[in-house]
A and B are shown apart, each in its own frame.
Chain A
Amino acid sequence: MMMGRHVRALVRASVAACALLVAASLAAWSDRGAAAADAPVHLTMFVFAAAGHMDVPEAVVRAYMQAHPNVKVDFVESSNAKTFPQQLAAFKTAPDKPFIDIGYYNADTTTKGLVNDMWQPLDASKIPNLKTIDAQFRQPQDTGVEFAYGPFGLIYNKQLVKRPPTSYADMWGNPAFQHKVVLWDYVLEPVMLAALFNGGSGTNIMPGFQMWSQHTDQIATFIHSNQELENALVGGDGTLAFFDLQIATLWAKQGAPIGTAIPKEGAVAWPLFIEVTRGETPAQLAVLDDLINELIAPDTLTKYSAATLYVPTNRRLPLPANVAAAYPPGALKKVINLDWMSLAKNTDGWNQLWDTMIKAKVH
């Protein structure tokens, strides 16, 4: 009898305790929804190191951090070339802890990342400003955003070159530039261009290799950095190169005797992308969606364009005054879009051809 009373008391106490426990857990769980919005979110953002490219994104992100104190973003400024191997290594080692969460990348890195399945498809419904990007620049499954492109063309030494180049064929076919063409080592765009204009295509650039192979005497030297390129052109070791017209304009403003030319075939559109690495937590993704929305907002893109002379892919935006002035009127009407995916898929094989068909013959 007494036992029964105690047992009943015990059972009642246990049930009460369980009920409390369940209630507490439910409360905590539902609280998590609210708490998550204020839970700290830490992101690492990469912007490649080039004059003017970090300023606008950094300002936008810092403003966002002020408005959302729980968000902390570390900035990594480095080169595409150095950061991608790190990212791939981290991706293969710890795919759930991305080394870089969001970054500004060039076409080479972006397509390499795509081929290795590293980038996160974005949810267009969470990023309204994606609609402002021109349809032709939208990525398949919105894996990243192509937000701007820089016209690439020919740059030359103004003092030594009497007749400015007018065509990409001046690189491989014009005897006036014999032994004077400076090439970036393992940068295949000149070969792709030669292929495009000599019967090849984005996927078959053998005609380009053959053209260059026959005209290796055009090549002055192979360089690997902006500084080397500037030294070569200013010093006269080379007089012609395929390069970023924006940086060349900057050099010219500093007084260097370097001129820019958009060939008659059109400028090459050198695209820039914002990419999010796979493996982000939902909380991080939510913040990233917000950030990207701000980074591709029309006024942000306008400011970015003014700072870098790159052209936004939101074509309805009027170009800032300094950008419009930098390019001859109508020069941007025709741009060449190279097949970057094909380049990424074939880099290894094509690099070998670069070595055997071009470099091995230059001595």
Chain B
Amino acid sequence: MVSSLGNARRIDWVRVALRVYLGAAVAYVLAPLVIVVINSLNSTAYNLFPPPSLTVQWYVHLFHLAQFGSAIRVSLEIAAVTAALALLIGAPAALVLTRHRLRWTDGWRAFLTAPIVIPQIVFGLAMFIFFLRLGLNGTVTSIVLTHLVVALPFVVIVMGAAFLDLDPALEEAAMDLGARIPQVAWRVVFPQVRLPLLAAGAFAFIISFDQLETTLFLVRPGVTTLPVQMFLYMETFQDPTMAALSTLLILAVAAGLVVVDAVFLRRSAGAPGRRDRASPPVARVEEGTG
């Protein structure tokens, strides 16, 4: 171990070890994705590894399949609406649970996060029956509402942790200065949690976009989501076309991250001296500005 006042010429072994570990961990995290990308170029249909040669035929094949265009669009729409709704009702709920001394706070929090525990297939079938009785079978609404239930706990948990970290003194000061509660929430609390809000929204979006077992029972001809279509394709055909589709999704997200990164990097260039925060999963935010 080297003391914090160590000689600049001595090797900081801790730092080296951390770098190596980071490299290994990132390799672990990315490994299956690399396999998927390589497999999407596999010249054999039966996932022979390593591939004897590379080809783009699966990408070509993918573009001839009509069902995925609309499925992607529907999935994106549903995920966006779900994330928006989940933030809209979940963040204020998390704030109330963090701030106010309610009777049985833990119970309410457990109640709101309960949907995490249910097996997806059971929930999917239960919702199928529920919407069948309401006559909403096979509608986008039924899918959005189902996803909302699944995504809400994550928003409550993430925002709950974020609100816990805030200093209540700021809110008390605002209220002492005469601000009413909605104003306090909007002008004092929420500007401090822009980053967690973004993260919670991103989580909710991804969770909705990825739903399979819950949605499998809710789709109808004409209203279907991407995971369901991918699943059906893999049941019918055994070839790397879905690996190609997954690769395209990875590339799309990576491109999106590059754009987001550039935008935020430009925004926070020249930020004041306080130590920057690491930013999962998106960008930094200047400290203290509203």
Contact = CB atoms under 8 A, between A and B. Distances in A.
Contacts of B133: 93-94
B47 A231 contact: yes
A225 B232 CA distance: 11
A354 interface: no
A341 interface: no
A363 interface: no
B240 to A, nearest CB: 10
B203 to A, nearest CB: 27
A254 B238 CA distance: 10
Interface stretch (A14-22, A76-84, A304-312): A76-84
Contacts of A94: 132-133
Interface size class on chain B is: 20 to 34
B276 to A, nearest CB: 45
A89 B125 contact: yes
Contacts of B234: 225-227
Contacts of A254: 44-46, 239
* Chain A interface category by residue count: 20 to 34
Contacts of B165: none
A77 B232 CA distance: 8
A76 B217 CA distance: 12
Interface in B37-67: 44-49
B128 interface: yes
Given A94-B132, A256-B46, A50 B238 contact: no
A234 interface: yes
A77 B45 CA distance: 23
Contacts of A76: 220-221
Nearest to A50: B236
B217 A234 contact: no
Contact of A86 (B46, B125, B232): B125
Interface of A: 44, 49-51, 74-79, 82, 85-86, 89-90, 93-94, 99, 225-227, 230-231, 234-235, 251, 254-256
Interface of B: 44-49, 125, 128-129, 132-133, 137, 216-217, 220-222, 232, 234-239
Closest 8 CB pairs of A and B: A256-B46, A254-B45, A49-B236, A74-B221, A49-B235, A234-B46, A230-B238, A227-B238
7 contacts: A75-B221, A85-B217, A226-B234, A227-B234, A231-B46, A254-B46, A254-B239
